[in-house]
Structures are given as C-alpha cells and as structure tokens.
Amino acid sequence: MLQETISRDQPARRWQDYVVPQCWEAFTEDDHAVWDLLFARQVELLGSRVVTPFFDGIDLLKLSHPGVPDVGGLNAILTPRTGWMTVAVPGLVPDDIFFAMLSERVFPVGNFIRTRDQLDYLEAPDCFHDMFGHIPMLAHHDFAEMAEHIGRLGSAAIAAGEGHRAARLYWHSVEFGLAREGGELKILGAGLASSFGESHFSLESERVERLPFSVERAVNTPYKHDAFQPRYLVSESLEATIAEVLALTPESLLAL
Ligand SMILES: [Fe+2]
C-alpha cells in the first residue's frame, strides 16, 4: 500500500533523465590514444571473424577516424540512415530505461573510456565497447529494426515482471551471439566484437558449448555477466535471427 502511494506520487522514470552531455572536448589526448590503440588492436584481431555488416558499419560511420568519436558526428550519419541516435550516459542504465531507449531507437554510450592500464578489464561498458561494439550494426537496416523490437519486447516484459526473458534474448543475440555466414562461424554480438580476450575464445575454445540459436533457447538460457560465457548460441544466419526475433510478440515472449 505504501509502495503504491509512493509510486503514484512519483513521476515515472524517463530515459531522457539519464542522458548527459558527452563533453567530447573533455577527453584527453591519452583518452584518444587509448581509443586508437583499442581500435587498431581489435580490427586486426577480428580480421574476418565478424559478420559482414559489422565492418560495413565501421566504414559507413567513419569509426576508423582517429580518436574517440563524438556523438554528434556519429548521429549525423547514423540517424538519417536508420533512425538510430546515440546519447551519452555516465554508466550502465537500469534495464527499464535501457529497453525504453531501444524502443525509441536510442542507444546509450558511456561518456568515458577505459584507462591505459585497464585495456582488458572493464567494470562497466565504456565508449569503446558501446561505440565500436554496438553502433556499427545499428547502421544495418534489418538489425536496426530488430534492436528496436527488442526494446519494445523488453519494456513489455518488464511491465509483466518478466524482464529477464528479454534480457536473455538480448544477451544471446545482440551482446554475445555468434552467427553462421557463408558456412563460417562468425561473431555477431557486440560484447564479443569489442573484447580482446573473448572474441577468439568464443569461436575457438573447445571448453564451451555452442548451441543453435532459437528465441526459445535464448529466453531460457541464463548468462554470466562477469566472466567469459560457458555457452554461446549460434544463429543459422544473421537474417534468420532477425526474422525470428521480429516475429516475437510480447505475448509470445512471455509464453516461451
Ligand atoms: Fe553492450
């Protein structure tokens, strides 16, 4: 009863309240040098191990331009293309806010970058993870639609007290998914594409499970957020996963 009174009296949380200025000019020379180091290292490491639209997006969005990208410049290309927009946030946002952002084609990117002595260890996703890992795929029209759809599914699932279902779906596709492309196993997820240690591990380790992706399996497969994954879900193709996710309704997500 008390909680109901409190929640009625408090205004609903808005995703806009979590947005901060990126303050691009506050990034130091060393911050930009860390971005360049991470970028060069990761591009070389990935080679052709990532789905094709990823590097298409890197090129299209001019992410290889030296230094930390500024969100304004990124949006000037991204928004006219797919309607997505990046906004700066100071760190992880709550799940309800995150899904609300996705449902409006808004992607939060950290307004900070890791330090040189923490190149491979991150307590919270920084702008390299967010901008290098996530944003390229949002330039792909069908993936862009899928990401928005996951946002709507997530908001509905949270409202039904079942937010973990959407979180798992997101995790096993957008964040840590693998996908076949031209018969080869490739990285799909941003958490893998942006990771120095886990990108090769996910494709090559014999100590993990790789199971065929389905939305039902994704929704029912827990994940680890503080260690390498013990199992990865492998899409038959990026297109197949997009089609399967887009076919999900909030009701069918809750019934899986
Ligand atoms: Fe991420």
For residue range 236-252, what is the model confidence (pLDDT) as tens digits? 999 999 999 999 999 99
Q: How far is Cα 62 from Cα 58, in angstroms, rounded to an integer?
A: 6
Distance from the CA of 140 to the center of ligand 1, in angstroms? 17
Helix intervals (H) in the chain: 2-9, 29-46, 52-60, 71-82, 95-103, 127, 141-159, 163-170, 190-193, 198-204, 215-219, 238-246, 250-255
Q: How far is the CA of 101 from the centre of ligand 1 (A)?
A: 14
Ligand 1 geometric centre to CA of 225 (Å): 11
- Is the backbone of residue 219 left (phi > 0), alpha (psi -120 to 50) or beta? alpha
Res 163: pLDDT: 96
Ligand 1 centroid – CA 207 distance (Å): 24
* 80 CA to centre of ligand 1 in angstroms: 23
C-alpha angle 178-184-188 in degrees, rounded to nearest 5: 25
Distance between Cα 190 and ligand 1 center (Å): 6
What's residue 97's pLDDT?
A: 97
Give pLDDT < 70 ranges for the chain.
1-11
pLDDT for position 11: 64
- CA of 108 relative to ligand 1 center, distance in Å: 10
Distance CA 155, CA 143 (A): 19
**What's the 8 CA to ligand 1 centre distance in angstroms?**
32
- Give the whole-angstrom CA distance, residue 106 versus residue 79: 10
Could you tell me the distance, in angstroms and rounded to a whole number, from the CA of residue 88 to the centre of ligand 1? 14
SS3 content of the chain, % helix, strand, coil (to 5): 55, 10, 35
Please count the other Cβ atoms lying within 10 Å of the Cβ belonging to residue 9: 7
What is the residue-averaged pLDDT of the chain? 94
- Model confidence pLDDT, tens digit, residues 9-39: 566 789 999 999 999 999 999 999 999 999 9
* pLDDT confidence of residue 115: 94
> 26 CA to middle of ligand 1, Å?
23
Main-chain dihedrals φ then ψ at residue 86, nearest 5 degrees: -95, 145
Distance (Å) from CA 171 to ligand 1 centroid = 8
**Predicted pLDDT of residue 6:** 40
